[in-house]
Amino acid sequence: MKLALLSDIHANIQAFDACLSHAHAQGAQQFALLGDLVGYGANPLEVLDRVQTLAAGGALIIKGNHDEMAVTPPAEVAHVGSSTAAWTHAQLSPGQHSFLDHLPLTLQQGAVLLVHASVNDPERWRYVTDVRSASASLDAAADRPEVRYVFGGHVHHQTLYYRGAGAGLMPFKPTPGVAVPVPRHRHWLATVGSVGQPRDGNPQAMYALFDADKAQLTFLRVSYDHYAAAAAIRRAGLPAYFADRLEAGQ
């Protein structure tokens, strides 16, 4: 069974569609959306339409911090992250608010545990950026002994953390397109990167494909029309900064 893992779509319909069709072409049979469906981008309506169709088809969907903010936008714009929340909120229908509001923070399917940020207090949206924070997240999953894989997003980078011969967790930078063996007798934590807001200087969208039968995880990069996504942001009157960063992938 091939499970496509898409996170941090950020209302970028161009990137989302490109990744979905790429995953279909790769033989993905199930989809998991790891939160931050909206925020920053210009097409929250279209993205949520797609998401709700996927949900009806059995996709696994969890909540991210931007989804929470879109339901209850902060009264004051405290930082760049929350600056589009009110705009997003205004675009969405009450039904969509309710859909986002009812998303779970974590979901488990067999050996796979999905979380937007960290398993350790998922509602606090901790960033998994190093061995220490990755260990904290993986350790918090220890009370579910059948869990071998923790997949998340939030940090917009693709990294795999693993336990080898030693006790400590090790970070690994994957090469896109290489199927990495992730045997079930070990514990793995992956941050799958961002579909709609890549920030490593490469504008290509990121997602990952987990093949449960072969126990392989493939991190992927997909080209999409990021100029169109940036143009949509400018047209919507959102801060130009969000358009610029899509063009630069930063």
- 25 makes contact with other proteins (CB under 8 A): no
* Dist CA 233 CA 238 (whole Å): 6
The binder of other proteins chosen from 180, 228, 231, 236 (CB under 8 A): 180
Residue 10, C-beta contacts closer than 8 angstroms, at least 6 positions apart: 36, 37, 38, 39, 40, 41, 66, 194, 195, 196, 197
The length of the chain, given as a count of residues: 250
Part in contact with other proteins (CB under 8 A); list of ranges 47-55, 91-99, 140-148, 157-165: 157-165
- 93 makes contact with other proteins (CB under 8 A): no
Nearer to other proteins, 52 or 216 (CB): 216
Part in contact with other proteins (CB under 8 A); list of ranges 141-149, 176-184, 195-203, 230-238: 176-184
Nearer to other proteins, 125 or 162 (CB): 162
Nearer to other proteins, 24 or 184 (CB): 184
Residue 63, C-beta contacts closer than 8 angstroms, at least 6 positions apart: 35, 100, 103, 104, 105, 116
The binder of other proteins chosen from 80, 90, 142, 178 (CB under 8 A): 178
Nearer to other proteins, 181 or 201 (CB): 181
Q: Is 178 exposed, middle or buried (0-12, 13-18, 19+ CB in 10 A)?
A: exposed
Tell me how many residues contact other proteins (CB under 8 A): 14
Q: Is 142 exposed, middle or buried (0-12, 13-18, 19+ CB in 10 A)?
A: exposed
Part in contact with other proteins (CB under 8 A); list of ranges 30-38, 55-63, 142-150, 163-171: 163-171
Q: Is the dihedral angle over the CA atoms 66, 51, 16, 237 positive or is it negative?
A: negative
Shortest Å, Cβ 46 to other proteins: 36
Q: Which residue has the tokens 């909120």?
A: 89
Residues 116-155, one symbol each (x = binds other proteins by CB under 8 A, - = not), give ----------------------------------------
SS3 content of the chain, % helix, strand, coil (to 5): 35, 20, 45
- 54 makes contact with other proteins (CB under 8 A): no
Nearer to other proteins, 10 or 148 (CB): 148
Binding site for other proteins (CB under 8 A): 160, 162, 164-166, 168, 170, 172, 175, 178, 180-181, 183, 185
